[in-house]
């Protein structure tokens, strides 16, 4: 991966289907500073671009924090739900398969279909609160209501909530990334027009400058989707899996659902508080 990233000038035998990489002869090798200069420059531009996105959109930090919490909550279920089922129902493979079936076809699939309608009428923040409330309800049931010997129907009925906890959330997450990328592109396109105006009066290479701006425009959508997905599937899931394993080892499998229920409630309070602060600030400062 490192070789592919830095695009080292390695010679290969193109006549063979499965050829090996042939190292450069010492005399043919370029200095390391020349080989790495362009990739590092491009990487630095990407870092600066991400910094500007967060600086221009401070509320993006609010949603990144919530996405991290969603990742941790999801990790509890993805990593330890079958251990939990085995605890309350024994080694029941049929129940595990039925649970996945209900989650997918009775939970996620219908919500993916109607999620845009919910998002349009409720907005992203309220939709996230609905999804967090579903997490709190679901994990409260797991931690405080279900016991050893709980029936199939009770367990499968709760799994329908997967539509709200994942289907709705994932739709909102990708929509937020799209929204902030569009906002950033509006700023970039405004800069593009400014460059064209400057080129008429100042010594500015319009072609190079405009091409650089266009490159940022096409990169914004992938950058924001990558940031959101990284926060959810990378950091969030990793923290949740680690914390869940610690809770199971130190207490029991019921503990992760109790912690998860209160973590979801905390995320709702955090989201509502930030939205209230933004509303009060905008009312005072925006005419």
Q: pLDDT of 227-275, one tens digit each?
A: 899 999 999 999 999 999 999 999 999 999 999 999 999 999 999 999 9
- Full residue range of the structural domain in which residue 280 is found: 59-166+235-286
Does residue 192 carry a pLDDT above 80? no
Contact 12, 19 (CB under 8 A): yes
Per the structure, the count of domains in the chain is 1
In a domain, 199, yes or no: no
Per-residue tokens: 192: 């593009």
In a domain, 115, yes or no: yes
In a domain, 24, yes or no: no
In a domain, 90, yes or no: yes
Determine the Cα angle at 131 with ends 94 and 174, to 5°.
100
How confident is the model at residue 1, as a pLDDT? 40
In a domain, 241, yes or no: yes
Determine the Cα angle at 111 with ends 59 and 231, to 5°.
35
In a domain, 10, yes or no: no
In a domain, 230, yes or no: no
Measured CA to CA, the distance from residue 46 to residue 29 in angstroms comes to: 28
In a domain, 74, yes or no: yes
pLDDT by residue (tens digit) across 6-49? Answer: 444 444 444 443 443 333 444 444 443 444 444 545 556 667 77
Contact 177, 154 (CB under 8 A): no
Whole-model pTM: value is 0.78
CA dihedral 129, 134, 137, 142 (to 10 degrees): -130
């Amino acid at each position: 991966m490192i070789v592919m990233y830095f695009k080292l000038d390695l010679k290969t035998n193109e006549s063979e289907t499965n050829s090996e990489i042939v190292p450069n002869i010492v005399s043919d090798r370029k200095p390391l500073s020349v080989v790495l200069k362009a990739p590092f420059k491009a990487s630095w531009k990407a870092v600066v671009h991400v910094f500007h996105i967060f600086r221009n959109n401070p509320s993006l930090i609010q949603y990144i924090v919530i996405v991290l919490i969603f990742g941790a909550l999801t990790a509890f279920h993805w990593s330890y739900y079958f251990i939990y089922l085995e605890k309350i129902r024994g080694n029941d493979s049929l129940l595990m398969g039925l649970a996945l079936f209900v989650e997918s076809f009775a939970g996620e699939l219908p919500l993916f279909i109607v999620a845009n309608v919910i998002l349009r009428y409720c907005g992203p923040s309220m939709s996230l609160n609905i999804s967090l409330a579903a997490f709190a309800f679901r994990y409260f049931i797991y931690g405080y209501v279900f016991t050893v010997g709980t029936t199939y129907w009770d367990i499968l009925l709760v799994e329908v909530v997967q539509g709200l906890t994942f289907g709705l959330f994932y739709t909102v997450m990708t929509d937020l990334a799209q929204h902030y990328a569009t906002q950033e592109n509006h700023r970039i396109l405004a800069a593009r027009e400014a460059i064209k105006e400057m080129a008429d009066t100042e010594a500015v290479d319009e072609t190079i400058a405009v091409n650089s701006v266009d490159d940022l425009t096409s990169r914004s959508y992938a950058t924001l989707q990558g940031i959101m997905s990284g926060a959810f599937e990378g950091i969030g899931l990793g923290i949740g899996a680690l914390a869940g394993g610690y809770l199971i080892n130190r207490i029991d499998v019921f503990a992760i659902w109790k912690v998860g229920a209160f973590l979801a409630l905390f995320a709702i309070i955090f989201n509502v508080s930030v939205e209230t602060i933004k509303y009060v600030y905008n009312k005072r400062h925006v005419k």
